[in-house]
Amino acid sequence: MSIRVAKTGNEAVAEGMRQINPDVVAAYPITPQTEIVQIFSSFVANGKVDTEFVTVESEHSAMSATVGAASAGARAMTATSANGLALMWEIVYIAASMRLPIVMPVVNRALSGPINIHCDHSDTMGARDSGWIQIFSENAQEAYDNLLQAVRIAENKNVLLPVMVTMDGFIISHAMEVMHLLEDEKVKQWVGEYVPENPLLDVDNPVTVGPLDLYDWNMEHKRQQAEAMVQAKPVILEVARNYAKLSGREYGLFEEYMLDDAEIAIVALGSTAGTAKEVVKALRADGVKAGLLKVRVFRPFPACEIARALQGKKAVAVMDRSDSFNAVSGPVFAEVRSAMYGIENAPAIVDYIYGIGGRDVTMDHIRSVYDDLAKIAKTGQVERTLTYLGIRE
């Protein structure tokens, strides 16, 4: 049976990494991810893992070393946040296009500037088109579960893409709560022996890694990369089914919370979804047909599935914890609204940008969004598409 413990999100992810026991971890500490690297390095120092731990001088080097290790044939991991991810940028794209199954926890934090250490999703949303699979976590348990599943998703031969597993900085990374760990032996069997595809160190079968790829074949290779993202969707679901057998915890591309008969619904990612669940419960007790759709897998984006789940609702609000500065909406709204274009009985849909730079989102805030939705559902009128939730102006 699983082990019931009190852990912070960072501790949970570090435990998961210990159990995965990757061949190589190359990482650089950055708030609020620091503890993951700190705790994991103590596992290395104490001989709890066999990992070659590479201390690097920057995140650009962290991702470069991880790419090098993965190309060589190692199961390789790193972890980062915000500006660290930004500094990796060049190599983040290269990792995906080289089809390296790297797994990287990202502890969501606002990208500078102004400088800020708290949670928003601007870091991973910025990397949404980098070719990485992106899985968001509501709490410490999900960060741990998603991490273990990420290894199997990334390394699946139909996928071979790197995976980011996110959790909200401080809100989850530094908050202690109840969670369940799997036994070490179970995780060892779950991730299994890593068999790399075309490793550089297989000298009997020499390969070229990272060659020049101009207009003759580059487009075909990018097309294959796009296809891998399509193929990832059924793999993610299959891995989730197997993980449910192992852990008893079920995951999908997204979670539907009291959504079936809901008339108004919020779409949210990360820890806010947890707070919203409590609001939904309270609204249901008052007879309001409120529901929630929590996006777990943002890349590949489950467009058809989400459209189907929201079809027939009267009004839907998308919660965006980052801004696109495109004079239209946040990034999640753009995806969700686009997914619903042309479907019958599409709901009215509005966007709320919230929680930027760690701004707290309270149950009252979320309730006010449902109040707005109830009004839209009743009148059929959308006064404004985009609202900055709780802003002083």
Partner 1 sequence: MAKLLEIRWHGRAGQGAKTAALVLAEAVISTGRHAQAFPEYGPERMGAPMQAFNRISDESITIHSHVERPKIVIVLDPTLMSTVDVKAGVPDDGIYLINTPLSVAEIRKKLKLDASKAKVYTLDATQISIDTIGRPIPNTPMMGALVAATGLLTLDELIGDTRIKLAKKLRPDVVDKNIEAIRRAYQEVAQ
Query: What residue ranges bind partner 1 (CB under 8 A)?
Result: 4-6, 117-118, 138-139, 168, 170-172, 174-178, 271-272, 274-275, 277-278, 360-363
Distances (CA, A) of 53 to 29, 36, 88, 279, 330: 13, 13, 18, 43, 37
* Least spacing, CB of residue 179 vs partner 1, in Å: 10
* Least spacing, CB of residue 68 vs partner 1, in Å: 34
Structure tokens at 305: 């599935």
Nearer to partner 1, 228 or 292 (CB): 292
Nearer to partner 1, 11 or 155 (CB): 11
Distances (CA, A) of 300 to 58, 88, 123: 29, 21, 17
* Least spacing, CB of residue 135 vs partner 1, in Å: 18
Whether 106 and 79 have beta carbons less than 8 Å apart is answered as yes
Nearer to partner 1, 153 or 361 (CB): 361
Nearer to partner 1, 227 or 360 (CB): 360
Helices (H), 29-134: 34-45, 59-72, 82-97, 122-126
* Least spacing, CB of residue 56 vs partner 1, in Å: 25
Give the Cα separation of 190 and 247 in Å (integer). Answer: 11
Nearer to partner 1, 172 or 262 (CB): 172
* Least spacing, CB of residue 377 vs partner 1, in Å: 25
Give the Cα separation of 335 and 187 in Å (integer). Answer: 34
Give the 3-state secondary structure of residue 129: coil
Nearer to partner 1, 18 or 367 (CB): 367
Enumerate long-range contacts of 379-385, CB under 8 Å, 24 or more apart.
380/348, 382/348, 382/350, 384/350, 385/329, 385/349, 385/350, 385/351
Whether 34 and 85 have beta carbons less than 8 Å apart is answered as no
Nearer to partner 1, 22 or 105 (CB): 105
Whether 339 and 301 have beta carbons less than 8 Å apart is answered as yes
* Least spacing, CB of residue 247 vs partner 1, in Å: 16
Whether 321 and 272 have beta carbons less than 8 Å apart is answered as yes
* Least spacing, CB of residue 177 vs partner 1, in Å: 5
